[in-house]
Amino acid sequence: MNDLIHQGTGDHGAADFRGKPHMNQKGANLSNRLLPLIVFGTIGLLLISNACMIGPKYHRPGVPAPPAFKEELPSGWKEAQPNDGAVRGQWWKVYNDPRLDTLEDQVSISNQNVLAAEAQFREAKAAVGIARSGQFPTVTAAPSATRFGTGTASGGGRLYTIPIDLSYQIDVWGSIRRSVAANSAIAQASAAELENARLLYQAELAADYFQIQGLDASRQLLEATVKSYEQYVQLTQDRYDGGVASMGDVALAQTQLETARAQLVDLGVQRAQVEHAIAVLAGKPPSDLSILAASNQSPPPASLIGLPSILLERRPDVAAAERQVATANEQIGIAKAAFYPSLTFGASAGWQTTAILDLLNWPSRFWSLGPQLAETLFDAGKRRAQVKLTQAAYDATVANYRQTVLTAFQQVEDSLAQLRILSEEAEVTSRAVKAAQQSLEISTIQYRGGLANYLQVITSQTSTLQNQRTAVDILTRRMVASVSLIQALGGGWDASQLPSSQELRN
């Protein structure tokens, strides 16, 4: 709306290059009196601009946080005290498995999805620097040499100019500061998303690793079963040769043996696929990774469970969602600041002459400075609609944040329930395995003594193997569930690890 520029040259008695006479001495004196007013007025605006911020002040949205988890803690697990961490740092070390440690270390280094998330964080961090540059003046230079002509006898000549321009938008209403804050919140959300991606793939690798252990345990079981069934085939063959058993008994024993062998072979397909998945999670081609067979399975280790209120600080996905809310809040302030006029301070200085040898001489200098005020008088409701848009976007991020919190509570409760129920199921299955083994021993003795047919032996064998494989599967599921619980608890991460605004500027 208003543009007040104070101009001057190095020689008040000469004409400028556009043919207009310079101001006289009286005008020069007036300019000299106005100049301090312009400069000090602009400085005053700079000093008070930090005190004026248009838009809502950010407060973290409230969420429903229960005082405790509904599910009972698994055996050996306990509730964390205020000074305890649910899990700290490299959470997978609670399993005390060096091979798992080596694989997990590769996720942060070589997993391509984690590297992509890390690059996105660096991108968001660079955006903070771009937004922050708006808080400082912009200085440009555009030297030129222009040939011109006139209708006079001189015919024209060349004009040499070295201008240096300065432009600075004074952040009176806080829109630039809010833009910096919004980009900082976005970068913090990106940092949390990076941690969430790292946790996701670390947990997926650990789950696959324990699946490998479960498959190896099943393989050991089936190998032992095949050897046992081979002995039963020999038993039925000997009894057939002795004339006390039928060829049908031999056929049943052989069928049972080949069925167990087929199950043993089929495990190879599953193991190869899981091993390939682990290789990719570790950032390696499948051909570059081989995992030796595990010798045994262990039950899940005991650990600490934080309170529901602590969970909000330990989940990187919750932190990312909360930072998105902060970003949306800043956007409301930016939209509201558009209703107010913008104030820009401009300055220009340099040298201008028709003789290149006089270019840097004092009389060739020129300068101008002054503020510029701009205001949109009519936009057909665009700014009002923009405010409504940002308010609606803010409400959406609040809903997403609360939903993320509810999902976090659900995942912890699900994992706790799974661990508790699987522990109970493991005890029942252990009793079933013992009963099935006893039934097999009795059936075998009766068959040897001619008191039972071989069909009873087959039934006992099938029941024993089924219950043994179920026991192995339950232990594998318990290990995977323990990983899911640690992941649901945030994997030892904490919101205090998010980069601060100062760190994002470096």
Phi, psi of 82, deg, nearest 5? -55, -35
3-state class (DSSP) for residue 395: helix
Q: How far is CA 387 from CA 96, 343, 384, in A?
A: 54, 21, 5
pLDDT in tens, 482-504: 999 999 999 888 888 999 988 88
Query: What tokens does 366 get?
Result: 């020129």
Number of Cβ atoms within 10 Å of the Cβ of 140: 10
The residue among 139, 138, 136, 126 whose CA lies nearest residue 176 is 136
| pLDDT score of 12 more than 60 | no
Lowest mean pLDDT among 32-36, 108-112, 315-319, 448-452: 32-36
| pLDDT score of 268 more than 80 | yes
Instruction: State the pLDDT confidence band at 15, using cuts at 50, 70 and 90.
Output: very low
Assess contact for 317 and 175: CB atoms under 8 A. no
Assess contact for 107 and 280: CB atoms under 8 A. no
DSSP 457-478: HHHHHHHHHHHHHHHHHHHHHH
pLDDT in tens, 428-455: 999 999 999 999 999 999 999 888 899 9
Query: What tokens does 342 get?
Result: 């913008």
Distance (Å, whole) CA 265 – CA 258: 10
Phi, psi of 374, deg, nearest 5? -130, 135
Domains contained in the chain, CATH given: 52-57+66-136+171-340+375-505 (1.20.1600.10)
The residue among 473, 433, 490, 414 whose CA lies nearest residue 74 is 414
3-state class (DSSP) for residue 369: strand
Lowest mean pLDDT among 170-184, 255-269, 317-331, 365-379: 365-379
The residue among 5, 8, 4, 3 whose CA lies nearest residue 29 is 8
pLDDT in tens, 297-324: 888 987 767 778 888 889 999 999 999 9
CA 486: distance to chain centroid? 17
3-state class (DSSP) for residue 86: coil
> Mean pLDDT throughout 352-360?
76
Average pLDDT over the chain reads 86
Instruction: State the pLDDT confidence band at 18, using cuts at 50, 70 and 90.
Output: very low
Query: What tokens does 292 get?
Result: 């030796």
DSSP 303-333: -EE--HHHHHHH-HHHHHHHHHHHHHHHHHH
> Mean pLDDT throughout 87-91?
71
C-alpha neighbours within 13 Å on the C-beta side of residue 439: 18
| pLDDT score of 152 more than 70 | no
pLDDT at position 506: 74
DSSP alpha helix (H) spans, 148-174: none
pTM, two decimal places: 0.84
Query: What tokens does 443 get?
Result: 């059936």
